[in-house]
A and B are shown apart, each in its own frame.
Chain A
Amino acid sequence: MKKLTNYIDNHINPIVVKELRQAVNGRFVSGVLVLFLLISVIAILVALAADEGRSPEAGGETLLLINGILVITCLLFLPTYAGARLASEWSDTNVDLLFITTIKPRAIIWGKVLATTILGALIYSACMPFMMLTFLLRGIDLPSILIVLATGFLGVVVAIQFGVFAATISSSRGFRSLISLGVLAGLAVIAFRLIDHAIQTVERGIGVTHFWVQTGTWAACVLCLLALFNAFSVALISPVSANRALPVRLTMMAVWLVTGVLSFCWTTTSYNGDPILAWMLLSCVAFGCCTLIAVCERESWGPRLQRRIPRNALGRLCALLLYSGSVGGLMWSWLMAGLTMGIGAASVLYLGHWSEEVHRYLWASFGMILFGYTYALSALLLRKYVLGAVIRPEHTWSLALLLGALGCSLPWLLAWLLFGRDRWRHDEFVYIVNPYAMFMIPTRWSSLVFVGTWAGLVTIAALPSFIGQLRRFRPAAPSETGASDQTQAAPAA
């Protein structure tokens, strides 16, 4: 028995142990738990008193009430708690304490998420008796209660991951506030979806058509989000010298594959090409965003990465696509977008859903990656040759977003100045550098030609830098590693 407890003790994530100890020692968690229990008791008593046993749906209504309180409490409290705890240890002045040990960044992030998930489980388990009690009233069955609890808990886990992700962004207070607002909006969407799903489950039951397909898809999407934000968080807290891009790109590829397979299944069962087309467009938007991240990455590689670069040509090419680095990131984004469009078009053709709509989606998908690339590369050149003293390389993405915002708004302003009320007749001009142009047939070609030329020009301008990076992407010279090996051998000798 002692051996078993020692084994568990030795293999449990240290962060989980620390976080739970802190939670137990602190009064905040226990305070929230007691407050939550009080609210639940009051809510159920009020619901029962108001109903007086007349409503045939009393069980379902009470369940929805408690579930609403539970979801909103957990979505507000747990991500904030997890984020605040990590942010306090992940500041500029105290950045090192977790990172001087041999513990891996992935273990740190999972530890934070898992510890807060356990707190969530604690709150859920405290609430379960009240929710199960609603079964004794009318209008609800046990499987529905369990489904509501399970989907709610899954949503809470993703929300915790959102909170942890927001805390890993090392930036100014203003930007962090902006990110927090974005996270809050995300949490509101999750809360809305969870409450809506609970209402649907209670009202229709689990035997309704497509219930399991919809719930399964929802669960798969939530798990994909969890995996993605987990990978982003791990990358953000990894040392700059590490290969931060590898886990992100591998996770993105896995999510891309899973969602692709799911959308293919949906297309075969729903008899229209919409799921695949939506997957294709959303994937291309994601890869377009990846170009913005790629231009913030390194242009030369330190010894830590160099010693892991394969020596054979094929291995090196694969490594270039998966290692941190701007040229590799841009190539990977284009490759993935190309694959997405190819697979999307082939799938629609194979399933016999080819139509004019498919053309529109294909052009729109191509536009997403083209616009993303053009704005990202323009920002890179601008930062490199003009604003180098003002903007740090890791913030190039914000410059790209600014250019994108200018591209979408400036033509409107110019059209208003030049054409006045007739500006509506000059869509080609207004949408010339706006990705939305790709959705409209009249503006598509002028925009494509303009942005395509622009992309060609910035590529030519960035070509020397790209070639330089390709040349620098080589493994450490044998003499360098040999030297360190020799030194390593010396003490032993």
Chain B
Amino acid sequence: MLVQVQNLHRYFGRTKAVDDLSFDFGSGQIFGFIGPNGAGKTTTMRIMATLDEPTSGNIMINGTSVTEDPERARKLVGFMPDTLPTHRDITVHEYLDFFARAYGVRNPQRDEVVHSIEEFTNLLGIKEKTLRALSKGMKQRVSLARALVHDPPLLVLDEPAAGLDPRARVELRELLKVLAQRGKAILISSHILTELAEIVNGAVIIEHGRMVTAGTIDQILAGANQTDRALTKVLIRPLGELEPLHRALLEMPHVEAATIDGEHVEVDLDGGEEVACALLAELIKREFKVLEFKQHRVHLEEIFMTMTKGQVQ
């Protein structure tokens, strides 16, 4: 299962919502789709879900073109839009049963499929409740269940964690991890980058409809490090005074900079993990009592802020 976004363009009049976007991801991967508001994320996702047509370019889902064969592509995509289910006077079970019917899931399998989806998304307890009686978190879960009802190999989730409380977010995260383990390819957009960083294997960052960077998280981090900052940053917390350690660090090789930050000394090294290990060994050799020594990883949020200007179209 491979999803390939190929030179995708989508223009609305003179506005370039998506401008030459290309990336790919596959089975078992959770791929983050990151960009400021109006960057073209939802447009790309709508094209992927066959709800919109690109001006040029294509998206291939396991070899099926969303522009040339949208009917077939729809069977491969489970789309969870950023809007919640609004159908009134219908229970959770009836809602899922309706979508199973709409996707052509036939009885006697349909009852089993709907039951297993309700079980997986933990909806069994509320399956007889009407949609209007549900909280936002519950509705999000119903929306995810709806996207899963025809067992698509690709899930496209547009801001699934927006407005959820911390518990619901953790539950959603766990569900997505299980789905990825089951071999689903997942494209997920979110503004909560700290959440996203914990589950995604890769990401694509876009701004003004153009791709800023794409790849696995390690590739993106490496790319960010090469361009903007020292290769490795470590935080050291000694037992006792910070000042002697700070002075000593400034005289050591490979140390580009050292600053006192609260209880820690923050050190920029011009090398990789080997250099960090050597530094720790040197400190112990010089009999500094090190309570904590940790590598400070650059967060997705920092990369995003560095690489984008946060401007909308």
Contact = CB atoms under 8 A, between A and B. Distances in A.
B67 A303 contact: yes
B98 interface: yes
Nearest to A13: B101
Interface string A302-320: 1110010000000000000
A379 B148 CA distance: 47
B89 A26 contact: yes
Given A22-B87, A22-B90, A302-B67, A101 B102 contact: yes
A101 B49 contact: no
A218 B91 CA distance: 42
A18 interface: yes
Contacts of A96: 46, 49, 51, 79, 81, 83
Interface in A48-101: 88-89, 93-101
A491 B106 CA distance: 27
Contacts of B91: 25
B64 A488 contact: yes
B51 A99 contact: yes
Given A22-B87, A304-B67, A10 B106 contact: yes
A18, A89, A98, A476: most-surrounded residue (chain B CB, <10 A): A18
B53 A10 contact: no
A405 B67 CA distance: 41
A209 interface: no
Nearest to A18: B98
Contacts of B60: 484, 487
Nearest to B80: A100
A18 B94 contact: yes
A456 interface: no
Given A302-B53, A302-B67, A484-B68, A14 B90 contact: no
Given A10-B107, A14-B98, A25-B130, A100 B49 contact: yes
A22 to B, nearest CB: 4
Interface in B77-116: 77, 79, 81, 83, 85-91, 94, 97-99, 101-104, 106-108
A307 B108 CA distance: 37
Contacts, number: 110
A95 B49 CA distance: 13
B103 A101 contact: yes
Contacts of A489: 63
B58 to A, nearest CB: 8
B248 interface: no
Contacts of A241: 53, 67, 70
B90 A484 contact: no
A101 B51 CA distance: 10
Given A102-B75, A302-B53, A491 B102 contact: no
A103 interface: yes
Contacts of B102: 14, 98, 101-103
A240 interface: yes
Interface in A116-137: none
B83 A94 contact: yes
B85 A97 contact: yes
A490 interface: yes
A488 to B, nearest CB: 4
B2 interface: yes
B210 interface: no
A324 to B, nearest CB: 13
Nearest to A99: B51
A6 interface: yes
A239 B104 contact: no
Interface string A220-261: 000000000000000000011100000000000000000000
B63 A487 contact: yes
Interface of B: 1-2, 4, 46, 49-51, 53, 58, 60, 62-65, 67-68, 70-71, 74-75, 77, 79, 81, 83, 85-91, 94, 97-99, 101-104, 106-108, 130
6 nearest interchain CB pairs?
A: A14-B101, A488-B63, A101-B102, A241-B53, A26-B89, A25-B89
Given A21-B98, A102-B104, 13 more contacts: A14-B102, A22-B89, A26-B88, A88-B86, A89-B86, A97-B86, A98-B102, A100-B51, A102-B71, A241-B53, A241-B70, A302-B67, A307-B68
29 contacts: A6-B106, A9-B107, A10-B107, A17-B97, A17-B98, A17-B101, A18-B87, A18-B94, A21-B89, A21-B90, A22-B88, A22-B89, A22-B90, A23-B89, A25-B89, A26-B88, A88-B86, A96-B83, A100-B77, A101-B103, A102-B71, A102-B75, A102-B102, A239-B51, A303-B65, A303-B68, A487-B4, A487-B60, A487-B63
Interface of A: 6, 9-10, 14, 17-18, 21-23, 25-26, 88-89, 93-103, 239-241, 302-304, 307, 476, 481, 484, 487-492
